[in-house]
Amino acid sequence: MDIIFIQGLKTQAIIGIYDWERENRQPLIFDIEMSVPIKSAAVSDNIQDTVDYKQVSDEMIKLVENSRFELLESLCETMCQQILSHHPAVQKIQLKVSKPQAVAETDTVGLIITRTR
């Protein structure tokens, strides 16, 4: 299986369990790896035979910016399910999210999940 990836996708969201997190948008950074068989796209040279990473990026930015989850776990699960439901060529997703302002004493904290079709 081949990998189409989006690295360092930056957006902001209302996310967290603390009052200050519910009042202010925080930056989130995503790395998305999508396992996709690309052979037919390589032969056809047609975007319809693969996954459009710009489209996925735009969809994820919109989803995140409109969300109001308390937990990264809920947000990431929703993101994976949307990718799987809207992009049938994707067989597996690894999604990493970094929340750099969550813990002052760290560079970042976050979550990595993997979902398969």
Q: What is the CATH number of the domain that holds 21?
A: 3.30.1130.10
Q: What parts of the chain have a pLDDT lower than 50?
A: none
Question: Which pLDDT does position 47 carry in this prediction?
Answer: 94
Question: Which pLDDT does position 105 carry in this prediction?
Answer: 96
Separation of alpha carbons 74 and 58, rounded Å? 19
**What is the domain range of residue 92?**
2-116
One-letter amino acid identity for 115? R
Question: Which pLDDT does position 35 carry in this prediction?
Answer: 98
Separation of alpha carbons 67 and 112, rounded Å? 19
Is residue 93 within 8 Å of residue 114, measured between CB atoms? yes
Strand partners, 9: 30
Number of domains within the chain: 1
Question: Which pLDDT does position 22 carry in this prediction?
Answer: 93
Say what the pTM is.
0.94
Question: Which pLDDT does position 12 carry in this prediction?
Answer: 97
Which regions of the chain does DSSP assign to beta strands (E)? 2-13, 26-36, 92-99, 109-116
Question: Which pLDDT does position 99 carry in this prediction?
Answer: 97
Catalytic positions = 99
What are the angstrom distances between the C-alpha of 51 and each of 22, 34, 93, 99? 34, 9, 12, 26
Question: Which pLDDT does position 79 carry in this prediction?
Answer: 98
